[in-house]
């Protein structure tokens, strides 16, 4: 494309002058200072035609890759019928999607509310917990991430993200993730619910012990509080199961999802709950609504996404590819222990914990320069994460590993020069 330099400069200038100056600096610092232009499958191309294997994956959005042709086609067909709902009649796409969600979620999770994002899904789940129980207190985990709206931010467990937005919602309390004794101690007669991510994402890809979730479920039953599983990032095949709680044979009372649900084409989120909780909507079914939530375009995208996940056995493929990637990352850790402290994850949700936070500032730009994207974690900056599309192949993973090793060598050299100076 002609004049690409001018387009890049103009776009960066518009970010600086009219969008978010600090974000513009962050993109440049991280090596993401070109313009994304096209995308397909596991690849992104910038305006200059350079290709990247997308291992950031939109932080879990692009589980089916970019621009999956079947989802694009489904959305195009619906666009010619009715893009948005009047909210005055029954909607077949909404009804069909709600039935599908009841089919694919564990246990007796039955009734769904469709919205536009993970943040909205969590907000709805928190509201439902308070409305259904008549109680006010919510317990969450330290280093949790549940979104950035005021309610979600109150549930999230990192004070740095909350600073400047106080006072947050009252009656939200935080305990260490994985600590059963702390949970037992925190519950009282005012506790409505416990909200947890099955695996902490922004907290650094923290995978709990295998017995943690079953114990949590038991305690919630015994103490009569609701269990909310935030599957916004872990859901829909990412960890090697359709939902991460299935690794632990646990059924929550409420579950949230988003990110991958729209197939990487249309934003869509949802929360789903057991039937008894939906009783609280009997007196006023319009007490919680969304103008754009459950719109026909989003619903057909989600229906087709679920169809593809099941038909192509993508959760199972994520488990196999994740095991393969994890195995090779552990080998790199053994070769470069001065750079990599640990590697962990489930399926294709994998975190690489670096020895120092500053290493990421060298490593990620070195990856991007060589055509591989990776993501930071907000609550634990020492951890970079790989969340590639579930359709990634062994050959593509092999290329990622080669590039990562080259980037590690470059970062190691850069850090050595800095330490000498």
Residues 265 and 259 sit within 8 Å (Cβ to Cβ): no
- Separation of CA 74 from chain center: 24
Residues 232 and 152 sit within 8 Å (Cβ to Cβ): no
Catalytic pick among 46, 54, 152, 230 = 230
C-alpha neighbours within 13 Å on the C-beta side of residue 267: 10
Catalytic pick among 145, 243, 271, 386 = 145
Q: Would you call 259 a catalytic residue per the annotation?
A: yes
Q: Would you call 145 a catalytic residue per the annotation?
A: yes
What b/e sequence results for 238-277 when a residue is b if at least 16 CB atoms lie within 10 Å of its CB, and e otherwise? bbbbbbbbbbbebbbbbbbbbbbbbbbbbbbbbbbbbeeb
Q: Who contacts 253 (Cβ-Cβ below 8 Å, separation ≥6)?
A: 193, 220, 226, 227, 228, 273, 274, 277
Q: Would you call 331 a catalytic residue per the annotation?
A: no
Rounded CA-CA distance 43/306 in Å is 22
Look at strands 172-175 and 137-141 and give their pairing. Answer: parallel
Catalytic pick among 259, 304, 346, 382 = 259
Rounded CA-CA distance 266/301 in Å is 7
Residue whose C-alpha is closest to residue 267's, from 233, 243, 290, 299:
299
Residue whose C-alpha is closest to residue 141's, from 87, 80, 204, 89:
204
Residues 266 and 298 sit within 8 Å (Cβ to Cβ): yes
Residues 202 and 209 sit within 8 Å (Cβ to Cβ): no
* Token pair recorded at residue 268: 């869509």
Helix axes 357-369, 394-420, angle to 10 degrees: 130
Active site residues: 145, 230, 259
């Amino acid at each position: 494309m002609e004049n690409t330099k001018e387009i890049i400069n103009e776009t960066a200038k518009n970010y600086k002058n009219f969008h978010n100056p600090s974000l513009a600096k962050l993109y440049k610092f991280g090596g993401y200072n070109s313009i994304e232009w096209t995308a397909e499958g596991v690849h992104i191309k910038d305006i200059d035609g350079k290709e990247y294997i997308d291992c950031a994956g939109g932080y879990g959005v692009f589980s089916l890759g970019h621009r999956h042709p079947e989802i694009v086609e489904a959305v195009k067909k619906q666009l010619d019928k009715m893009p948005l709902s009047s909210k005055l009649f029954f909607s077949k796409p909404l009804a069909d999607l709600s039935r599908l969600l009841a089919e694919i979620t564990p246990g007796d999770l039955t009734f769904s509310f469709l919205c536009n994002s993970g943040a909205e899904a969590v907000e709805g789940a928190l509201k439902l917990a308070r409305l259904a129980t008549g109680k006010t207190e919510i317990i969450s985990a330290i280093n949790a991430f549940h979104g950035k709206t005021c309610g979600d931010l109150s549930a999230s467990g990192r004070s740095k993200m909350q600073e400047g937005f106080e006072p947050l919602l009252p009656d939200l309390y935080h305990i260490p993730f994985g600590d059963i004794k702390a949970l037992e101690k925190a519950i009282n007669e005012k506790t409505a619910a416990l909200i947890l991510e099955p695996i902490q994402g922004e907290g650094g890809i923290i995978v709990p012990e295998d017995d943690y979730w079953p114990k949590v479920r038991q305690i919630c039953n015994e103490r009569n509080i609701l269990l909310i599983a935030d599957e916004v990032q872990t859901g829909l095949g990412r960890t090697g199961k359709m939902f991460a709680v299935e690794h632990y044979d646990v059924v929550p009372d409420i579950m949230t999802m988003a990110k991958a649900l729209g197939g990487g084409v249309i934003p869509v989120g949802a929360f789903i709950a057991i039937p008894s909780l939906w009783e609280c909507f009997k007196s006023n079914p319009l007490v919680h609504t969304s103008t754009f939530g459950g719109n026909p375009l989003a619903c057909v995208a989600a229906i087709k996404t679920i169809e593809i996940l099941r038909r192509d056995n993508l959760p199972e493929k994520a488990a196999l590819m994740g095991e393969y990637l994890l195995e090779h990352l552990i080998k790199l850790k053994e070769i470069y222990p001065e750079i990599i402290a640990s590697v962990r994850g489930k399926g294709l949700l994998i975190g690489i914990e670096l020895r120092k936070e500053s290493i990421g500032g060298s490593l990620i730009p070195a990856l991007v320069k060589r055509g591989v994207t990776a993501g930071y974690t907000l609550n634990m900056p020492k951890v970079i994460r790989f969340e590639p599309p579930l359709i990634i192949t062994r050959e593509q993973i092999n290329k990622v590993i080669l590039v990562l090793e080259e980037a590690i060598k470059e970062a190691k050299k850069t850090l050595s020069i800095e330490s000498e100076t």
